[in-house]
Amino acid sequence: MTEEDCRFYLTATRAVARAAYDWAGQFFEDDGYAVVLQEIDEDRDIFETSVYPLGDSERVADAFRAWVAENAPAEELRREVFHDVDWVEKSLEGLKPVQAKRITVHGRHDRAAVGLGQIGIEIEAGQAFGTGHHGTTAGCLILLQDILKAERPQTILDLGTGSAVLAIAAARLSPAHVIATDIDAVAVEVARHNVRLNGVHDRVRCWTATGFGHTAIRVGEPYDLIVANILAGPLRRLAPEMARHLAANGSVLLSGILDEQRRSVIAAYTGQGFRHVRTIHREGWSTLHLRR
């Protein structure tokens, strides 16, 4: 990271921090900024909401500060600057392994946590999101396993792959070939490393791409399954392209959707000929399975 990289964060009670988290997720959804809710003190029920701007820190500070002044005037918005700190590595130190049905997502410090019969996915810290701890990633892992078992897709596209945890899970659970993309070149490098670390580099290819614009994506189409754990706004806009790049009878697995945004995302896809199969709700987030 550069010296300019930072986060703005609010430390408060669960209710206030959650309200800030919900607001920030909606307010910044079209910007692609990461918004994180984390428990800080279990005994006192204290949580922290963070927003990680992508170069537009002044705008984020002004908007977040205005929200705090109106909704939590007794609290203080703080700023933390990262001086080439691998902050994901730092955050993973206190995180426990995540279990989602047959899958256990863990760091190198918790390899022994993978139980008998479980499939371990090791995600090494890096400057990318998607460790499995967020409700969206965990929800995707649950639905992904059900889709792979029922439909047995052979070609899979993972849009917004982050750490590649979903792409790796797909390759570990099936013989499918996976294309994984992200708009962030740093995330793609982390994804490639994690793919190699988990031994699926022969069937998972990672590329830096925006939407469906990369040649590698077009070469691999049509896809039996498209996974996209991004944000509700981009998901709605991508609905027509999803339909064009998906095989007949194919499925899409969508997440990064707040519960209150679920209906609008479903409407965008049913308008393209999809039918809603199932929704998983987890920690205020919805993960959707739709099929053509």
160 has binding-site annotation: yes
137 has binding-site annotation: yes
The CA distance from 246 to 136, in Å, is 22
Preceding omega of 240 cis (within 30 degrees of 0): no
Q: Is the Cβ–Cβ distance between 74 and 25 less than 8 Å?
A: no
Count CB-CB contacts under 10 A for residue 87: 16
Q: Is the Cβ–Cβ distance between 121 and 105 less than 8 Å?
A: yes
Amino acid present at 231: L
229 has binding-site annotation: yes
Strands 155-159 and 177-182, bridge-based pairing: parallel
What residue has token string 């199969």?
277
Residues making up the annotated binding site for S-adenosyl-L-methionine are 137, 160, 182, 229
The annotation places the binding site at 137, 160, 182, 229
